[in-house]
C-alpha cells in the first residue's frame, strides 16, 4: 500500500466523520444558543439547565438520523474494504 492510498483513505474517513457529526452538532448548537438566550433574558445562570434539553435533542436526533447514519457508515466501510482489496491484489 502506498502513501497516497493511505492518505486518500484517511481523508475519506475524516470527511465521513464530519458528514455524520454535522446534524447532531448543528442541532446541539441551535439548542444551546436558544437556552443561552433564554438564560440571558431571564438572568438565570444555572449551568445544569443546558444539559437535559441538549441530551433530549441529541437522543431525538439520533432516533431521526440513526438509520441514515448507519447506512452512510456501512457504505463507507464496504467501500474501504473494496479499496483495500484492490490495493492488495
Residues 6+ apart with CB under 8 A from 83: 5, 8, 9
CA–CA gap between residue 30 and residue 14 (Å, rounded): 24
**Domain ranges for the chain:** 3-88
Would you state the pLDDT for residue 2?
80
Low pLDDT (below 70) residues in the chain: none
Q: Take residue 55 and report the three cell numbers written for it.
A: 441530551
0.85 cut: is pTM over it?
A: no
Amino acid at each position: 500500500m502506498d502513501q497516497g492510498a493511505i492518505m486518500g483513505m484517511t481523508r475519506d474517513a475524516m470527511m465521513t466523520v464530519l458528514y455524520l457529526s454535522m446534524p447532531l452538532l448543528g442541532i446541539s448548537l441551535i439548542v444551546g444558543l436558544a437556552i443561552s438566550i433564554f438564560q440571558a433574558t431571564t438572568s438565570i445562570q444555572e449551568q445544569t439547565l443546558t444539559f437535559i434539553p441538549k441530551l433530549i435533542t441529541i437522543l431525538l436526533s439520533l432516533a431521526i438520523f440513526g438509520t441514515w447514519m448507519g447506512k452512510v457508515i456501512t457504505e463507507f466501510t464496504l467501500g474501504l474494504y473494496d479499496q483495500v482489496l484492490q490495493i492488495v491484489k
